[in-house]
């Protein structure tokens, strides 16, 4: 897997496609995670990760920020997490009065980036944007080199995004019924793209497998940006991804759309049935995003970032664009460190038994 340093170089450098069984893919990803963590400086404990969230760490809060801030995105440029990050970075940058540089640090379903930020200086200049994967990784990765609750300060929730199950333009099935029949009949050849173990697309695939009893062949990428590119090119058959990445392709009929993973249909895609309507039980998932800084970052810095986030989430351009992409910013009272921490904690508890029951692990 690549470890891209900028948006421009990141796109297209996705993982070599691996056409394997899910189990084999899991093993490969686990070894990759270890290899990548070795080249990024070892585990959190070995390289002296920031102390647990005391909020009184070594960063210089006075005058913050004085320099550009790096927003670390754990997936490829052009994907849904990257899209949301770039969208809010603009008004946050205007509010904070400094440049925000977006850095795509890919690998191991988002855990490489999270480890990097957990071990960064707690000075407010390295900020992580992560999604629901922050809550699933502790169960998926027995050797996770950071603790999502202990090694970070939360800044606030950002968005909650529905997911959609979509197929490549020339994939035979046109409806969910046809998809299920086709996948069952062609289990050896049908391929499902995801962004690695810990990605929302992997979680959604796991729920699909649980709901249907079908064990699909996963093709892991470094993000669903490049995965969607391959789907559009008919190089992979189907995937589940956030509306921020799929809505425009669904509306223009560039992909086949089978269902949306929310309890109700969504405004941006009113003709798309829900997974429940399609008879897929328990296949509801909404991807939430939040901002983090390393544990021990001074409270004043957390407050400054949070104030900028609150303003960004009321920005007209952010609201309009997210609306076009099938979502919206979270309410202001959820874009707070406390609400974010509470949500993270409850999501860790929600997903743990589901993942354990499915028997999926990167270890």
Q: How far is the CB of 298 from ligand ASP (least distance, A)?
A: 30
Q: How far is the CB of 224 from ligand ASP (least distance, A)?
A: 4
Q: How far is the CB of 67 from ligand ASP (least distance, A)?
A: 27
Q: Which DSSP string corresponds to 85-154?
A: HHHHHHHHHHHHTS-EEEEE---GGGHHHHHHHHTS-SSSSEEEEE-THHHHHHHH-TT-SS-TTTSEEE
Q: Which of 14, 64 has the CB closer to ligand ASP? A: 14
**Site for ligand ASP (CB under 6 A): which residue of 37, 40, 43, 76?**
76
> Is residue 246 a contact point for ligand ASP (CB under 6 A)?
no
Interactions with ligand ASP, residue window 260-279 (CB under 6 A): none
Q: Which of 132, 301 has the CB closer to ligand ASP? A: 132
> Is residue 200 a contact point for ligand ASP (CB under 6 A)?
yes
Cα dihedral sign for 244, 220, 115, 72?
Answer: negative
> Is residue 79 a contact point for ligand ASP (CB under 6 A)?
yes
> Is residue 225 a contact point for ligand ASP (CB under 6 A)?
yes
> Is residue 71 a contact point for ligand ASP (CB under 6 A)?
no
H-only helix segments in the chain: 7-10, 22-39, 80-96, 111-118, 133-140, 176-185, 200-212, 224-232, 243-251, 299-312, 316-324, 337-358
Q: How far is the CB of 79 from ligand ASP (least distance, A)?
A: 3
Binding mask 123-162 for ligand ASP (x = CB under 6 A): --------x-x-----------------------------
Binding mask 179-198 for ligand ASP (x = CB under 6 A): ---------------xx---
Q: Which of 61, 211 has the CB closer to ligand ASP? A: 211
CA 61 to chain centre: 29
> Is residue 208 a contact point for ligand ASP (CB under 6 A)?
no
| Separation of alpha carbons 269 and 273, rounded Å | 9
Beta-carbon contacts of 255 under 8 Å, excluding residues fewer than 6 positions away, are: 166, 167, 168, 169, 228, 231, 232, 246, 249
| Separation of alpha carbons 235 and 94, rounded Å | 40
Burial class (CB in 10 A: 0-12, 13-18, 19+), 170: exposed
Q: Which residues bind ligand ASP (CB under 6 A)?
A: 75-76, 79-81, 131, 133, 194-195, 199-201, 223-225, 242
């Amino acid at each position: 897997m690549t470890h891209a340093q900028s948006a421009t170089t990141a796109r297209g450098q996705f993982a070599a496609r691996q056409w394997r069984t899910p189990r084999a893919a899991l093993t490969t990803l686990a070894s990759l995670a270890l290899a990548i963590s070795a080249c990024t400086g070892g585990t959190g404990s070995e390289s002296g990760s920031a102390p647990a969230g005391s909020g009184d760490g070594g960063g210089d809060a006075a005058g913050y920020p004085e320099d550009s801030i790096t927003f670390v995105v754990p997936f490829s440029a052009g994907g849904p997490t990257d899209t949301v990050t770039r969208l809010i970075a603009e008004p946050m940058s205007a509010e904070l009065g400094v440049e925000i540089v977006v850095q795509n640090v890919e690998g191991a379903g988002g855990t490489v980036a999270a480890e990097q930020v957990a071990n960064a200086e707690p000075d407010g200049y390295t900020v992580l944007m992560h999604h629901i994967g922050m809550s699933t990784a502790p169960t998926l990765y027995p050797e996770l080199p950071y603790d999502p609750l202990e090694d970070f300060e939360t800044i606030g929730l950002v968005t909650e995004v529905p997911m959609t199950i979509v197929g490549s333009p020339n994939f035979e099935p046109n409806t969910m019924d046809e998809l299920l029949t086709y996948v069952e009949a062609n289990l050896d050849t049908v391929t499902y793209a995801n962004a690695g173990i810990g990605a929302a697309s992997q979680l959604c695939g796991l729920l699909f497998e649980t709901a249907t009893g079908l064990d699909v062949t996963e093709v892991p990428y470094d993000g669903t940006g490049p995965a969607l590119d391959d789907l559009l090119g008919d190089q992979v058959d189907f995937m589940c991804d956030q509306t921020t990445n799929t809505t425009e392709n669904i509306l223009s009929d560039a992909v086949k759309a089978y269902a949306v993973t929310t309890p109700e249909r969504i405004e941006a895609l009113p003709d798309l049935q829900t997974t429940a309507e399609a008879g897929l039980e328990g296949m509801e998932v909404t991807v939430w995003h939040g901002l983090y800084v390393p544990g021990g970052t001074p409270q004043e810095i957390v407050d400054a970032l949070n104030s900028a986030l609150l303003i960004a989430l009321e920005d007209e351009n952010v609201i309009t664009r997210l609306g076009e992409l099938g979502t919206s910013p979270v309410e202001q009272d959820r874009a707070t460190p406390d609400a974010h921490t509470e949500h993270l904690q409850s999501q860790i508890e929600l997903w743990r038994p589901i993942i354990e029951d499915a028997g999926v692990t990167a270890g």
